[in-house]
Amino acid sequence: MGRSEADSRGAMNTSDCSELVCPRDVTCSGIRAGEKSAALGSHRACSADKRQRDPDMEGAASPAPNVTEPTEVKKHQHKHNLKHRYEVMETLGKGTYGKVKKAVERASLKTVAIKSIRKERITDDLDRIHIQREIEITSSLRHANIIRFHEVFESRDKIVIVMEFASRGELYDYIQERRRLPETEARGIFRQITSAVHYCHKNGVVHRDLKLENILLDQDLNVKLADFGLSNHFQRGTLLQTYCGSPLYAAPEIVNGLPYQGPEVDCWALGVLLYALVYSSMPFNGASHCTLTEQISQGRYSRPNPPSDACALIDWLLTVRVDERATIEDVANHWWVNWGFEESVCDCPSPPHQECPSPLLARYIDWQNRVAVTSNMSLSSDSSCPPQLSPHPFYFSFPLTSDRGGGGGGGGGGGGGGGGGGGGGGGGGGDGYAEECQA
């Protein structure tokens, strides 16, 4: 099947039904969209981001924790520290903002992925914010099924992220190779995804870009959720208004430009993921922008034969009315998800959320390359030296052709993100295999 790729961050234009092109403003997440076939191979997802404004940046909607005690993510400021401690190996991928390389820590012989982000290449204000946010949020999460940041190095011209290496790559490619997963295997994978999302929601984080390309697999086929570049903090009673994510996974409220709480858009995306895991195809064919928007808005999708035992849960997750859609608690306690397991996902122990992400937030990343200051600055839009948002046109991404490389680490912090064996996206536009989009 063709390897058509689409830009992972072009925003959806829900009013323009003409064929548009993929902008070359951010990195590519190894995704497919817009082809007429409903086969999984025809639908690499396009991430979307409403770039004309980003109300989610307001402090009330996106509180950043204060830095008090250091956690496990380490912050360094000298590149020689990186070179002495890690043996850097082959390049796993290249993106708009830099590269991802495989590396081995000399002391422990642990394999990691190292993402290098060149600040000079980050010219888009919202991308700066998304990179900051991904570093903040991913550093604060500690869950077995979420990709882990080990260390962050910073110099005047670069940010370097040392992250977990997911050697088996993207879930998308795994399904492609297997053609059709046994339902027991699909259940095991979906259960791990549910556990990761349940942990995020429990700790006030919404991912907003759940898709097969952002779910990585390690050597033991354990799930690693990656690419938190479009994630945000949410609060009950406060609505978000940034319309982002991947069109093929976007909820009706996203494609129709309605404010949303946050978790409900992740739950819709879980429905798309479950459908893909069970049927190895996508529920919405996305033959055109108009068709895709109409299908999603009406919740109209095909139900292949033979039907799966997961059909009822898929229908519940892909419910158009938000108040009737399954919540993450509903999913975590659903009989299909827990069939054959001794306890529900909700009962599985998970480590506590790190309220203060890491020492990397103790020193504000100065995107203007000025001398950074030490403080407990918030990463919200009202912190000092805030990026000034600039308007952009809306985009809807159509397929591009690109070769894919192998190997990589988890998502994280900007362009150039690689994923294990083909892995996870970089923050602020997740790079999947970290190809560079060409419009």
48-49/244-245 β-pairing: antiparallel
Active-site annotation holder among 7, 49, 124, 209: 209
In this structure, what DSSP letter does residue 247 have?
A: G
How far is the C-alpha of 190 from the C-alpha of 196, rounded, in Å?
Answer: 10
Q: What is the number of residues in the chain?
A: 439
Cβ pair 223, 192 in contact under 8 A = yes
Tell whether 119 is in a known binding site. yes
Q: Which amino acid is at 29?
A: S
Q: Of the candidates 360, 367, 410, which has an alpha carbon nearest to the alpha carbon of residue 144?
A: 410
Q: Is 366 a catalytic residue?
A: no
For residues 130 and 428, the answer to whether their CB atoms sit within 8 Å is yes
Dist. CA 281–CA 303, nearest whole Å:
11
Cβ contacts of 112 within 8 Å, gap of 6 or more:
86, 102, 103, 104, 105, 150, 162, 163, 164, 165, 409
**Tokens read off for 83:** 């070179």
In this structure, are residues 94 and 403 in contact, taking their beta carbons and an 8 Å threshold?
Answer: no
Handedness of CA 96, 282, 177, 421 (dihedral sign): positive
Q: How far apart are CA 280 and CA 383, in angstroms?
A: 45
How far, CA to CA in Å, does 423 sit from each of 46, 122, 189, 230, 432?
16, 22, 16, 17, 5
Give the count of beta carbons closer than 10 Å to the beta carbon of residue 381.
18
Which residues are within 8 A (CB) of 189 and not within 5 positions of it... i.e. 6 or more apart? 171, 181, 221, 223, 277
| Phi and psi based region of residue 251 (left: phi greater than 0; alpha: psi -120 to 50; beta: remaining) | beta
168, 172, 176, 182: CA torsion to nearest 10: 90
d(CA 398, CA 387): 29
DSSP string, 127-175: HHHHHHHHHHHHHH---TTB--EEEEEE-SSEEEEEEEB-TTEEHHHHH
Annotated binding-site residues for ATP read: 119
Annotated binding-site residues read: 119
* Residues marked as catalytic: 209
